[in-house]
Structure 1
Amino acid sequence: MLVETIWEGKMSLVAGDDKGNTFKMDTSPKVGGDEKGVTPMAALLGAMSGCISMDTLAMLRRSVDNGEILSFRVEADGTQNDEHPKYFTDIAITLYVEGDVPAERVWGAFRKSEEKYCSVRHSLKADVTLNLVLNGKDTPELN
């Protein structure tokens, strides 16, 4: 999977996948942005809540009839570290479901997603390798 992020000036960025789907990121004016997109940290929360939503819906659709889920919404609320790096110290995921669906089925799917299936959740533990191409040339880090 490849995602390319392109700078559009100031602090505005557009990220897109290899299928042409895009989303815009920006930041507040106090750090040079125009707030015309989500922050990268908000995008991370959105990616996690989207992943959990898709997993949970897929599992529920196998066990309930069409029409039993009337609405489905996820909120992800992250608390960030006070100092840099301002990583998330806690993330609360709240699932809102309306419909004739047994609570134990919703909880089962919701919990399985967070514990086993949500790739975004588990990617937060990934090893990261840094590479630099400067003016068209691979550039190793000088120690």
Structure 2
Amino acid sequence: MKVSTNWEGEMAYTMTNQRGKTMHLDPNGDGVSPMESVLGGLAGCMGIDIVMVLKPYQDKIKRLEIDTDGERNEEAPKYFKSIHITINIDGDIPASRVWRAVNLSDQKYCSVANSLNADLSYTVVLNGEEVEDPKK
């Protein structure tokens, strides 16, 4: 999986995936902030999982809305200290099945949830050339 993110000036960026789909990132303008996109990605990932796990009840789902509320660290880096996720679902579905779907998403299937504590590595390409970290 690969995306390309291009600076558009000021604090604006456009992210493009390999299928040519774009997302406008701009915390001070008409786009979403990168951290908002993390919350939206988390909700979308969990939503996909929940619908898949609830496949036997899919025709009974009338509404599925996922609200994410993230509390960020006050100092840099302003990572999410906690995220509260509210799953609003309407339909004739047993609560035990919904909770099973939520727990399976959280503990097994949701790549975004399981990436929030990922080890990060970096490559810097400056003016077309990869540059090493001088601190290494």
The TM-score with structure 1 as length reference comes to 0.90
Q: Which has the higher strand share?
A: 2
Distance 1:20 1:39 in 2: 20
* Structure 2: unaligned runs, 5 residues or longer: none
The TM-score with structure 2 as length reference comes to 0.95
Matches within 5 A, 1:99-138: 99-138=91-130
Contact 2:16 2:23 (8 Å CA) reproduced: yes
Report the equivalent of 1:3: 3
Correspondence for 1:59 among 50, 53, 56: 53
Amino acid at match of 2:66: V
Distance 2:57 2:70 in 1: 31
In structure 2, the CA distance between the partners of 1:25 and 1:60, relative to structure 1 (3 Å rule), is: same
Q: Which secondary structure state, in structure 1, belongs to the residue aligned with residue 54 of structure 2?
A: helix
Correspondence for 1:86 among 63, 78, 91: 78
Alignment length (residue pairs): 135
Amino acid at match of 1:71: R
* Structure 1: unaligned runs, 5 residues or longer: 29-34
Q: Residue 134 of structure 1: CA displacement?
A: 1.2
In structure 2, the CA distance between the partners of 1:65 and 1:84, relative to structure 1 (3 Å rule), is: closer
Distance 1:71 1:56 in 2: 12
